[in-house]
Amino acid sequence: MAFNIIEAKREHVSLILHFIRQLAIYEKMESEVVATEASLASHLFDQQSAHCVLAFEGETAVGFALYFYNFSTFLGKQGLYLEDLFVSPAYRAKGYGKQLLLYIAKQALNCGCGRMEWSVLNWNQPAIDFYERLGALPMHEWTVFRLSEEKLKLLSATK
């Protein structure tokens, strides 16, 4: 069966949210999903602060990848950050994840990016193995920090 990678459009927003929820279930983080169709439509299609591509097998959507651009001060050029990559369990090990990643890697090169980065949960060995097979290197010397929206509000209120 033939498969396609396409740029998501506004009419795909419910499908994107579906994949986000499926990813959250897989990552045991379902309760953290507060995104709505309206918030996704606003950020993906009105503000264009992130981009999404979808993988299809025939007419069936089988996965997605969501990314945005950042900037590296050391390189002096933009980079691409892959926020999420997900393929439905029934379609894994068929090349969809690799095709999504290749599509985004080409986007990074076409936009003059100096690098492409992403995070993976430490327990997700299948994903780690997949990324390493493609030549990606783990950045063990870095620790990810996060300020939630609540913490951002508290921090910004300090004097």
Residue type, 128: I
Q: Tokens at residue 157, please?
A: 């209120």
Integer-rounded Cα radius of gyration of the chain = 16
Q: Tokens at residue 108, please?
A: 């990074």
Among the options 67, 81, 96, 131, which is catalytic? 131
Where does residue 93 fall: left (phi above 0), alpha (psi -120 to 50 degrees), or beta otherwise? left
Indicate if 81 belongs to the active site: no
Q: Cα separation of 157 and 143, whole Å?
A: 26
**E strand map for 73-145:** 77-87, 116-118
Local structure of residue 29 (DSSP, 8 states): -
Is 31 within 8 Å of 91 (Cβ atoms)? no
Say how far residue 132 (Cα) sits from the centre of its chain: 17
Local structure of residue 42 (DSSP, 8 states): I
Active site residues per annotation: 131
